[in-house]
Amino acid sequence: MRTIHVNDSMQQGYSYALSAPVGKEFGEGFEPELTPKEMLALGVFGGKYMTDTQDEFPKDWFDGARLSPERRDPSLNFFRVDASQKLSVWRDKGWIFADDPRGWFQWYCRYYLGRRIEGEDRRQIGRWRAMRRHIGQIRQNCERGDIFCRPKQRQALLHWAYDSRKF
């Protein structure tokens, strides 16, 4: 079992163990369409979300990643729109777990690497499933193949590892 040690701007002295193979053995029904590497290359979270975490994750995840070291830049997002809420909103709604102070995507990156935290994994997978409602709204309101219909919803789905370019 491999241990990852974290020291970045939001988390110092945190460690976690990898108990599953990278990109495998996901919870039942959890089938993300995009890997963290693919998400970073497409453009998510205005390029700011992971700029100081590169020591934690595989170097190749950042090859071709659309990052903004200074500030969040929605033009780096695939759909070039801002589809994020502030971290303070996430905290107020109780969406942040102490082990993952950056939220769902940080959880997903660590889960993808092989970290497992039973109760938190169940909670985050449930949140991921809840995003499917946006797929239905896009299918109901957009012509198939028009990937620029409802760009904010599509960008939000990309943030949750759904490949919204496909529907």
Q: What is the pLDDT of residues 109-156, one digit of tens each?
A: 999 999 999 999 999 999 999 999 999 999 999 999 899 999 999 999
pLDDT band of 167, cuts 50, 70, 90: confident
What is the dihedral angle through the alpha carbons of 58, 60, 61, 65, rounded to the nearest 10 degrees?
140
In this prediction, residue 55 carries a pLDDT of: 93
Look at residues 127, 141, 115, 130 and name the one whose alpha carbon lies nearest to residue 26.
Answer: 115
Whether the per-residue pLDDT at 89 is higher than 90: the answer is no
Domain boundaries, the chain: 2-159
Distances (CA, A) of 155 to 5, 12, 82, 167: 31, 30, 8, 13
Tokens linked to 94: 């109780």
